[in-house]
Structure 1
C-alpha cells in the first residue's frame, strides 16, 4: 500500500537502487527554475523507501527533483528542512519502480508542446519565463512556437505520423499555409526530404549564402538598408533569406559602381559592371600589362620590406615574436603589394581600345578583369560572304567547285542542337557517362596539356603538395601516391587519342578504380595562411573519417617534422599530452631548445602522438559507418601502400 508522507529535504538520500545515476547540471538547473516559477511546489511526489538510518529515506524515483531542491536550498531560496511530499514504497519494489519511471515515460509530443507554449505566449509570457516554467531551453521554446507558421493540415498529418518532424520543420521557413500544402502535394513521395521542401518554399528568395548577399556584407548590411528577412529557426546557422530582390540588386549595383569609378579613372575606353562572369569572356582578345622596372629608390624600399617580412615570419614561426608581430606582418605585406603593383602597367594603346569588367567572382568577392577588347561590330556583307573561299579566275574559265559554307551564327545554332541531343543521351546512359567522366579526368591528371581532347567541360584542380612541405622526401603519403601514379601510367595507353576507346573496353570495377585515382588528385586539405576554402578544409575531416584514415601510420612526430618548428611552450604541452606531466618536466629541465627538441623526440617516439593540424578531427555527432568491400584476387591496378 502506498502512503503519502511529508519528509524534510535534508533527510532524503540518493537511492543506490535507483537505475539512473547521472543527471546533467543543465537539466537540474532548468528543473530548479521550473520549480521556482511554480512557487517551489513539485507537480509530482517523490517515491521513497526507508533508509538504513532511522528517520532517513532513500529517493527511489525523483532523483533529479531532489537534486533541484538541494540546489535551491544551497542558494538559500528554500530551507534545508523544506517539507517534501513523498510516496513511500517497500524496498523490494525499488529497482522496478525506478526502472519504470525512467524507461516507460514518453516525452511530450512537439505539437502538444507548441500548443502549450503558445497559450502562455498569447498571455504575454516571455520566452525565458516559458522555458523556465517547463524546464527547457529558450531555443526549444522558439522552435516549438515557430510551428505556428505551419499549416494546420500539415500539423495534423504530423500527429498522424504521415509527416516526419524534419519535414514539418522545413515548412517553418514560410508562413503561407496554402503554398505549404501545394508544395507537399506537388513533390513526389520520394523527394519530400526537408531540403527539397525548404528549396521549393524559398525558390523566390535569396539565401544568405548567395554571393550577392556576401558581396554587400551579409544580411546585416541588407537589413540595415531596410530589407526584410525571413529566417528558418530550425536552421542551426539561422542564416535566413532576403525577400526584397530589387533592393538587394540595387545595393550590389551601388557597390560595383563605386569600385568601377576607381577603374574608370585609370583611363580605360570602357568599364562595365556585372554580377557574374560575362559569357564569352575568355574568347575575347585581351591586352596584358607590360613589365616596368622600379626606380632604384623604390627597388631598395621593396628589398627592405621583403627582408623585414622574412624576419618577422621567422620570429613568428619560432615563437619568439611579440604580440604585435602579426599586425606588423600584415602592414609589411600591404607595402610589398603596393610596390609590386608598380612593376607592371598597361600601354597607352591598351587603354585606348580596351576596357575592364568589374564583377563578382564565384565566392561573392570583387573581381576586376582589365585589358579586354570588344569584337568588331562590322558584319560581312552577303556578297562577300557568298564569294568567300571561291578561286579567282584569270584568263581561261575553269570550272568552279561549289563548297558548303555556313555562317558562324548558323554553326553555333546547329551545334547547340547537337549538344542538347548528346546531353540527354548521355544522361540516360550511365555506363558511357562513367567512361566519359573518367576520360576527362585522366586527360588532366595523366596526360598534361591534353584536357582539350574531351567534350566534357570538367575541371580538376590539382595543387602540388611539395611547395607546402618542409621535407617532401620524408612524406609517406606522397611517396605512396607517386608510386601509384607510376603504376597506373604503365597500364594507360601512351597516346591520349586512344584513351577513350581503351576505357570503353574496361570492366566497371577498373573504371571505378580510375575514377577514384582521378578524384584523389583533387583532394586538398592544405590550410594556408590566407585561404577561402575553410569549409572545404573542414570537410576533409569528414572524408578522412569515412576512409578510416589513421594519420599515425602516415606521419611520425620527430624533431625535424615538428618540434624544431614550434616554441618551447608548445613542445612542453605536446609532450604532456603524449606522455603525461612527468615527461613534460624532462623537457622543462632542458637548458636549450635544441636539447628540448631531442628529449621530446625521444619521449614521443613510438607513442603514435601527432600534432592537432595533421589529425583527422573527430565528430561527436557522427555515427561510425562500416563499409564492406569485395576485393577480387585478380585486381588490374595496384592500390597505394597503407
Structure 2
C-alpha cells in the first residue's frame, strides 16, 4: 500500500484470491488424499465432534472441486485443509445429530497446488502460548464462574490439569513476564508455584536469575526452606488434619510428588506433637510406673547406665495363634511362589501386606512386667521414624536399683526386641557435633569417629545378613572362635564374633539404620524364625530335634550372625577384630553397594566441605568439584549427592580390603592354625613360627560342601 496524498490511496493487487465462504452440503464433501496430516493428533475425533456440537464450527473448510477424467466437475468437493473437522462432522451425521444436507461453510479454491495449500494451513499458523492458555482458563473461572470440573469437561482434560493451569496463572506477574519472555522455563515456573506467596517467589527469582543453577529442585528447596516435609515423624504422628485445624499452613506441589507437602509452622507442629505425647504419657503413667519421660526424639545414649526389667509377651488366645500360624504358612507359601519375580502382582503384594499386619499384631504384642517391679522403673515415650508411638518401658535408674523389689533385671538385648537393632546396651558417648560453619580448614581425608561408627554399623548389619545366608561360613566362623577360646588363652581378639552371641547395639550408632532395607529383611527373618519356635523355652529342645538338617543349619547360621560385631568406635581399639571382620567380609563376598549409597543424609551432610570436594573430584573429576566449591555446605552436600548418584562410590570403611588398596589377608588353610606363642625352644627356634598340622581324624570331613539350602527362609 502506498500513500499518494492525504485523500488518495492506491492498493497493490494481492497474489492469489481471497474467496468468500460458500455453504456446501455435508454429503458433497469428501476427504482429500493430498491432506498432509497423516499422524493422529492429540485431540481425538470424538472430542472434536463433541466440541463442534457444543459451539459450532469455528473455522471454514478449504476445498477444491472434484474433477472427473473428462475434466468436468462431479459436484463433490475434496477437503484439502480441515480433514479432522470433516471426520468429526461425519461422525455427528452418523449419530443422527446433523443431517447429510447440513450446510458447511467452505472456501472453494481452484488455483494453486493442493498439497502446498494443505501444508501451509498447518505450518503457517502459530500455536497458542501456554501462558495465554493459563490466563484463558483463569478468565473462565473468575469471569464466567465456571468450576474446575466444568472447564475440564468443556476442553476434554482432567480436573487436575485445570487446577495446575489455574495455579500457574496465579503466579507472580513478575514470574509470568519472565516466562513470556523465555527467561524462565515451564518447569521452573511450576517449581515456583509450590508457594502462593508472590513476594517469596520474586525474592527467590532475584536470588537465582543471574546464577548458573536454576534447576527446579533448587527452586523448590529455597521456597520450602525452614519447612518440614510431610514424611517427617512429627507430621505423621500429629496428622495433617489436626495441624491444619490448628491453623497450620501446608505448601503443596501440584506438579510433582511432594510426599504430603511442606508444613511451614514448625513451632506449631512441635507443640501439637508434644501435647499429643503428653496425653499418651498420662495413659502410660496410669499403669503404675515411677516415671515417664517424653521427647519428640531422645538423644543418642539415653539408655546408657539403665537396667531393663524382665518381661514376658502378653499371652495369645488359641484363635489368635491359629490365625497367626495360618498367616505365616500363607506368607511363606507366597514368598516361595514369587521368589524369582521382579515385581509382585498388585493383588499378591496387597495380600502379603495384610498377612504382615496379622503377624505384626502378634509379634509386637505388649510386654507384661511384674507390677511390684514397675513401681521402681520408668518409660521413655517418643516418636518412631514412621510416626508410630515409640514406648521403651521397664528401665531402672541406678538410684532406684536398690529399691527394686525383685532385685533382678535382665540385660538381655533379645528379650522381645529385635536383636539386630537393640538400644539396650551401654556404649561410648558420641563425639561433639562437627562444626557446620562454611569456613573450614580441615584438608585431611579422615572421617569423623562418629561417622565411621555409623558406617561400620551398616557394614556390621550387612555382614550379619551375609553370614545368616551362608551356614557353611557360619559354622566355620563359630568353630574358629571356639578353637581360639579352647586352645589359645589370649587370642580372643582374633575374631570379630562375640562368642556368647551378644547382639551389640547398632542403631545407637546409626539412628536411621532401622529404616534400611537390610534391617527390614533381618527383622522379618527374625519374625519368621520366632514363628517357628515354641513360645515356651522348655519346649525348645524337642522342637530343634524335630527340625530337618537344612532348617537346623539355617537357624544355626542366624544365631551366629547376630553375634557379628564389626563396629569401629572411638577410643576402643579393635584392630584384630576388625581385621577378622575384613577377612569374613571377603569370604562371603560382601558388597556394601547393595546396602548403602552416598547421599546428603547418609554421608555428605556429615563430613567437611573439603571431604565433599575430594569425593566429587575422585568420582567426577576436578572440573565437577570446582563447579560446587563456592556453595554453602548444605547446598554442596545436595549437589554432591546428585553428582555421584549411580557411581557406586563407597567411603573407605565400607570398601573391601582389595578396594582399599591394602593387601588382603589370606585365610590359612582349613587344616592349619597358628600355634600359640611359646617360649623359644632349646634350639633357639620360636615355636610360634611353625604351623601346627591337625591330625587326620580331626580334619576329616572339613571340606566345605555346597551351601545348605535355607529351608526356613
TM-score by length of 1: 0.55
Who is 1:416 aligned against? 432
Who is 1:203 aligned against? 225
Who is 1:267 aligned against? 288
**Aligned-residue offset at 1:269:** 1.4
What whole-Å deviation, never above 9, does each CA across 1:116-169 have from its counterpart, x for those lacking one? 333333323314554566665544443232234322222222222221111112
Task: Describe how 1:206-245 pairs up with structure 2 within 5 A.
Answer: 206-217=228-239, 219-223=240-244, 227-235=248-256, 239-245=260-266
| Cα pair distance change 1:445/1:628, threshold 3 Å | closer
Higher mean alpha-carbon deviation, 330-339 vs 199-208, is at 330-339
Which of 192, 208, 226 is the equivalent residue of 1:171? 192
| Cα pair distance change 1:50/1:251, threshold 3 Å | farther
Confirm or deny: 8 A CA contact 1:231 1:238 kept in the other structure. Answer: no
Who is 2:83 aligned against? 63
Confirm or deny: 8 A CA contact 1:302 1:339 kept in the other structure. Answer: no
CA distance in 2, matches of 1:332, 1:288: 29
**Aligned-residue offset at 1:274:** 2.6
Secondary structure of residue in 2 paired with 1:198: helix
| Cα pair distance change 1:355/1:119, threshold 3 Å | same
Task: Describe how 1:389-468 pairs up with structure 2 within 5 A.
Answer: 416=432, 419-420=434-435, 445=462, 462=518
How many residues get paired? 447
Which of 577, 586, 592 is the equivalent residue of 1:518? 592
**Aligned-residue offset at 1:172:** 1.7
CA distance in 2, matches of 1:163, 1:130: 27
What whole-Å deviation, never above 9, does each CA across 1:296-334 have from its counterpart, x for those lacking one? xx7766655555556777999999xxx9xx99x979986
Task: Describe how 1:296-307 pairs up with structure 2 within 5 A.
Answer: 304-306=322-324
Task: Describe how 1:343-362 pairs up with structure 2 within 5 A.
Answer: 344-348=367-371, 350-362=373-385
Say whether 1:41 aligns with 2:57.
yes
**Aligned-residue offset at 1:111:** 1.9
Who is 1:31 aligned against? 48
CA distance in 2, matches of 1:160, 1:516: 55
CA distance in 1, matches of 2:391, 2:325: 30
What whole-Å deviation, never above 9, does each CA across 1:270-291 have from its counterpart, x for those lacking one? 2233323444334352414334
**Long gaps (5+) in structure 2:** 1-15, 69-73, 338-346, 401-427, 465-495, 499-503, 530-549, 551-574, 598-645, 649-657, 660-713
| Cα pair distance change 1:337/1:233, threshold 3 Å | closer
Task: Describe how 1:70-89 pairs up with structure 2 within 5 A.
Answer: 70-89=90-109
What whole-Å deviation, never above 9, does each CA across 1:600-637 have from its counterpart, x for those lacking one? xxxxxxxxxxxxxxxxxxxxxxxxxxx999xxxxxx88
Say whether 1:365 aligns with 2:420.
no
**Aligned-residue offset at 1:235:** 3.5
Say whether 1:256 aligns with 2:277.
yes
Who is 2:166 aligned against? 145
Task: Describe how 1:243-642 pairs up with structure 2 within 5 A.
Answer: 243-245=264-266, 248-291=269-312, 304-306=322-324, 309=327, 337=361, 341=365, 344-348=367-371, 350-374=373-397, 416=432, 419-420=434-435, 445=462, 462=518, 497=578, 517-521=591-595
| Cα pair distance change 1:91/1:58, threshold 3 Å | farther
CA distance in 2, matches of 1:95, 1:449: 82
What whole-Å deviation, never above 9, does each CA across 1:381-402 have from its counterpart, x for those lacking one? xxxxxxxxxxxxxxxxxxxxxx
Confirm or deny: 8 A CA contact 1:7 1:85 kept in the other structure. Answer: yes
**Long gaps (5+) in structure 1:** 378-410, 474-493, 503-513, 524-626, 630-635, 638-642
| Cα pair distance change 1:331/1:257, threshold 3 Å | farther
**Aligned-residue offset at 1:22:** 4.7
What whole-Å deviation, never above 9, does each CA across 1:55-109 have from its counterpart, x for those lacking one? 3333332233233334444554433433222234469834444444445544322
Confirm or deny: 8 A CA contact 1:269 1:353 kept in the other structure. Answer: yes
What whole-Å deviation, never above 9, does each CA across 1:411-465 have from its counterpart, x for those lacking one? 989x538x549998798667989x9798786566459669999x99595753669
Secondary structure of residue in 1 paired with 2:192: helix
What whole-Å deviation, never above 9, does each CA across 1:210-254 have from its counterpart, x for those lacking one? 33332234x345445665544333336694444555554454345
Which of 23, 40, 57 is the equivalent residue of 1:6? 23
Secondary structure of residue in 1 paired with 2:375: helix
| Cα pair distance change 1:212/1:440, threshold 3 Å | closer
Secondary structure of residue in 2 paired with 1:21: coil
Who is 1:390 aligned against? none
Higher relative contact order (CA 8 A, sep 6+): 2
Which of 16, 38, 48 is the equivalent residue of 2:33? 16
Who is 1:508 aligned against? none
Secondary structure of residue in 1 paired with 2:63: strand
| Cα pair distance change 1:208/1:91, threshold 3 Å | farther
| Cα pair distance change 1:281/1:84, threshold 3 Å | farther
Asked which structure has the greater CA Rg, the reply is 2
What whole-Å deviation, never above 9, does each CA across 1:496-519 have from its counterpart, x for those lacking one? 6469999xxxxxxxxxxx999311
